[in-house]
Structure formats: C-alpha cells, structure tokens
C-alpha cells in the first residue's frame, strides 16, 4: 500500500461522511482498529442518561413522581436498554468476508535443501466472525 493509496482512502472516507452512499466503501483495517480503540463500549447506563437528558429537554420529568414513587418511564427504559445490551454482548455475532486476493499469505521455513519462502494470496472469498463489545 503506497502513501497515495492511503491518502485516497482517507479522502474517500471524509467524502463518504458528507455523501449519501448506496455502496459501502472498504476501509483499511488500521482505520477500523483506531476507531474501535477510541470508543467507550456499550453501556445501558450511559444510554439511559442520554435518553433522560433528551426527555428533560423535551419537558418530560425523569425524577421521582410527586408522590415519591419511582418514575416508571425511566425504569422501563433502563430495563429495555439492559436487555438490548445483554443480547448484543452475549448473543450477537458479527460476520464479514474478505474478497479473493485481499489477504496476503507469506510463509517461511527450511528443509535439507535450504531456506524456503512462499508468497501468495487467498483465491476464494474468506468468511470471518467477530464479537460485539
């Protein structure tokens, strides 16, 4: 990968932020890893806090009811978030694929005749799995 290829990928990424795309552009793995490392991860409490702020901004109270009983909107929202996040982190998987020729293969070894090096790439689409955190 040359510097011009990297610059083109970065520019296409920034253009994609402003454009409505019908096709997903492949992004280099290093950009995906950097973006993933900067994220906080899933949190039902953080999502509930964001929803409570939005409800408060809309004039819907999120504190205890006037009679002191708990606010059922907040309790129901939290129960929903907990289950959604539980399902995402315990049940969900991410699937993807690698196009033929996208994965480089390099192996080194030796035998009685000397050093052996083989170089190649995948010739078939490859399936991959991931976990949501």
pLDDT band at 52 (very low <50, low <70, confident <90, very high): very high
- Is 49 in the same domain as 15? no
Residue 23: pLDDT over 80: no
Confirm whether 133 is domain-assigned: no
pLDDT band at 79 (very low <50, low <70, confident <90, very high): very high
Confirm whether 108 is domain-assigned: yes
- Is 45 in the same domain as 86? yes
User: Residue 12: which residues within 8 A CB-CB, separation 6 or more?
Assistant: 25
Tokens 């011009």 locate to 4
Containing structural domain, residue 16: 1-39
Residue 80: pLDDT over 80: yes
Q: What average pLDDT is seen over the chain?
A: 83
Confirm whether 130 is domain-assigned: no
Distance CA 22, CA 46 (A): 31
Task: Give how many domains the chain has, as a whole number.
Answer: 3
Residue 20: pLDDT over 80: no
């Amino acid at each position: 990968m040359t510097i011009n290829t990297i610059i083109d990928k970065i520019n296409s990424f920034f253009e994609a932020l402003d454009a409505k795309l019908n096709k997903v552009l492949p992004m280099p793995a290093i950009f995906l890893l950097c973006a993933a490392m900067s994220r906080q991860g899933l949190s039902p409490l953080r999502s509930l806090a964001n929803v409570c702020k939005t409800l408060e901004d809309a004039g819907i109270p999120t504190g205890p009811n006037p009679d002191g009983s708990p606010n059922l909107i907040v309790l129901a929202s939290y129960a929903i978030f907990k289950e959604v996040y539980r399902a995402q982190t315990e049940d969900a998987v991410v699937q993807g694929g690698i196009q033929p020729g996208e994965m480089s293969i390099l192996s080194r070894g030796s035998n009685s005749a000397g050093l052996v090096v083989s170089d190649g790439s995948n010739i078939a689409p490859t399936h991959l799995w991931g976990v949501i955190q």
